[in-house]
Structure 1
């Protein structure tokens, strides 16, 4: 056998092996999902106690109970041996919020803090080059947090690896067909393009809709240079304007759009940066990660200059760096955090997401901390993790409210 034929044989064997492994893993993941979420193999959100529900709405627990007795609110589910434990779904909590906002118009924003007329849609892109910077984890936790506050959220998975879609219970290679990602709405061939509304999916988490992702998104990276070479895509059809344009088509339906950008500076990421009204850059405070972020910032700066020179109007309401997986007892990490804060000042979010086994455990179950049942991990561990994530998400929400002109 010649050297050439030997290499050819190896190549064919590798293709067969990789294909077989892909099919095996996909089947196993489907089996695991069916075991985790029977019988429909779909995720569902936990219910909330009357105390939790009252705190979320912003009223006393006794008021919530009286509203239920008076028939003024939805009837909770009853649990326990004597049917005295009340449980509310997030959908029911949002119905109570809407009722109170209508009943007490002066306090409406406290109960239901959705966008008012004249307040612009907030589009937050979560981005970085470096894998492991908790980009997807940040996106899903922020989406869940905002929805728990009563906001309407659209999450867009721009990453071909589709980790965000997986967190919402979709297996990309099985549940997301051709033309069912954002690619279907921004592709260049007019005959096959679909409205963004057609690829938006409701999720089990009330208040959060999703545009899922899969490997189909790579087609946009391949087709864009060809479209540019052909002179296609001018005006609103230019590659960096297409994503913002389709988001504008559903603007009235949401308060916040979150974009989980790919971990590379391709055409999809550039579209996300241009569409965004705000940018969150996740960074793990380790030297390699910070060096990678430096390259990300340099390349982003260079390319955004090119976009601006070609008529792209780039204005972000805020750009913030979010420290993730931070170990406050790790001296090198503490030093890097101090360095970043000295360089960027208030552009680094004051709270950081701490390194914790609770987030790792939640990830194994494809859940955020907000979905974890008490007892799934140690109570103190879960509470510390929630305090950390809540503090970060609340600061982001404060920035959004500031843009909306709210105190």
Structure 2
């Protein structure tokens, strides 16, 4: 019988060719698998093997997404029952039913049991309708920044990976959007888990110069306005600036620019804050998902943030790691202060995850 590893190779090949392998004979399929395996081992170095594995994983993830989210391979949000809508909007259930029967406002859908349901986009239409009809209570129905309030930029940060930074970002964005706030989620992590959770697979859905790097880069000819790289998500009220490996270019490019004193525009830590100023009036909250490091991107996020949430697992090693993170961050902020940076944050909180 063919070995387990060779059996997997044969199975993969025959699936690709649309045939059916035969593992019972010693020649034929087994011989082909042996030759292919030997050729792969002989010709591939470590880099080639890793690249091939990455390509296979990406293709399989894409196939999985196609199966999970038919027919367009896109995530979608479920509709909400009228009692759920009432809790989210402070609009009585009876009022919602009256609006529906009179044909006013968005027309709800119907489930198989004839229950009325609204999409999140329709819920936001209801909020706008009631806010316009009752200006004195507008903020109760349609939460927005009050006059004079600044844009809240919340950085979720920690030096240690796996502390639920991205999970926190997603849940916070979902919660705020369900309350009616306008949210921008910004993925600063090259691993792009936040982007993936919002339905953007970084290898396939995010092209060159479509990440935050496009708005931060030092090359004037290639730099893009931040508004050009913002995209809608399946979750109404949440926009996204996706990430992918391109984001790392900022970490590589900034030391060279600093050493050579080249590059035009603001110094590295100011660039993100200045870019966000262009969309200041479009959102109530910006959520920054930072990489698990204290590089130039994380420092830029800390400088741009009006508030910070530091995630930590309730375990001794994680708390010790956070202690080192805070010490390093304090030292680096002191260096930024010497360069003219002034950090003025509304709050810093610790979230046990």
Tell me whether the two structures share a fold, i.e. TM-score over 0.5.
yes
User: What is the CA RMSD across the aligned residues, in angstroms?
Assistant: 1.4
Instruction: Judge conservation of contact 2:219–2:263 (CA < 8 Å) in 1.
Output: no
Corresponding residue number in structure 2 for 1:17:
49
Q: CA deviation at 1:177?
A: 0.7
Instruction: Judge conservation of contact 1:114–1:151 (CA < 8 Å) in 2.
Output: yes
Corresponding residue number in structure 2 for 1:385:
none
Corresponding residue number in structure 1 for 2:338:
309
- Which of 209, 214, 231 is the equivalent residue of 2:261? 231
1:259 and 1:232 map into 2 onto residues whose CA distance is 27
Corresponding residue number in structure 1 for 2:152:
122
Corresponding residue number in structure 1 for 2:117:
87
Is 1:33 the counterpart of 2:65? The answer is: yes
Q: Which moved more, 1:202-211 or 1:60-69?
A: 60-69
1:92 and 1:233 map into 2 onto residues whose CA distance is 46
Corresponding residue number in structure 1 for 2:318:
289
Instruction: Judge conservation of contact 1:58–1:111 (CA < 8 Å) in 2.
Output: yes
Give secondary structure in 1 for the equivalent of 2:268.
coil
Instruction: Judge conservation of contact 2:211–2:242 (CA < 8 Å) in 1.
Output: yes
Instruction: Judge conservation of contact 1:233–1:239 (CA < 8 Å) in 2.
Output: no
Corresponding residue number in structure 2 for 1:109:
139
Measured against aligned partners, the alpha-carbon deviations of 1:349-384 in whole angstroms (never above 9, x if no partner) come to: xxxxxxxxxxxxxxxxxxxxxxxxxxxxxxxxxxxx
Q: Report the CA distance shift for 1:307/1:20 in structure 2 as closer, same or farther (over 3 A).
A: same
Is 1:272 the counterpart of 2:301? The answer is: yes
Q: Report the CA distance shift for 1:212/1:193 in structure 2 as closer, same or farther (over 3 A).
A: same
Measured against aligned partners, the alpha-carbon deviations of 1:48-92 in whole angstroms (never above 9, x if no partner) come to: 0011011111121111111222233211001225xx310100000
Corresponding residue number in structure 2 for 1:298:
327
Corresponding residue number in structure 2 for 1:43:
75
Corresponding residue number in structure 2 for 1:350:
none
Corresponding residue number in structure 1 for 2:27:
none
| 1:297-376 pair list within 5 angstroms | 297-324=326-353
Instruction: Judge conservation of contact 1:153–1:258 (CA < 8 Å) in 2.
Output: yes
1:176 and 1:254 map into 2 onto residues whose CA distance is 23
Instruction: Judge conservation of contact 1:160–1:218 (CA < 8 Å) in 2.
Output: yes
1:295 and 1:50 map into 2 onto residues whose CA distance is 49
Is 1:155 the counterpart of 2:185? The answer is: yes
Q: Report the CA distance shift for 1:233/1:317 in structure 2 as closer, same or farther (over 3 A).
A: farther
Is 1:209 the counterpart of 2:232? The answer is: no
Q: Report the CA distance shift for 1:10/1:218 in structure 2 as closer, same or farther (over 3 A).
A: farther
Q: CA deviation at 1:281?
A: 0.2
Point out the structure with max Rg over C-alpha. Answer: 2
Give secondary structure in 1 for the equivalent of 2:332.
helix
Is 1:260 the counterpart of 2:260? The answer is: no
Instruction: Judge conservation of contact 1:241–1:274 (CA < 8 Å) in 2.
Output: yes
Measured against aligned partners, the alpha-carbon deviations of 1:229-274 in whole angstroms (never above 9, x if no partner) come to: 122357x610000000000011110000000000000000000000
1:137 and 1:15 map into 2 onto residues whose CA distance is 31
Corresponding residue number in structure 1 for 2:21:
none
TM-score, structure 1 normalization:
0.75
Measured against aligned partners, the alpha-carbon deviations of 1:333-360 in whole angstroms (never above 9, x if no partner) come to: xxxxxxxxxxxxxxxxxxxxxxxxxxxx
2:298 and 2:96 map into 1 onto residues whose CA distance is 45
1:10 and 1:113 map into 2 onto residues whose CA distance is 63
1:220 and 1:13 map into 2 onto residues whose CA distance is 28
Q: CA deviation at 1:17?
A: 1.1
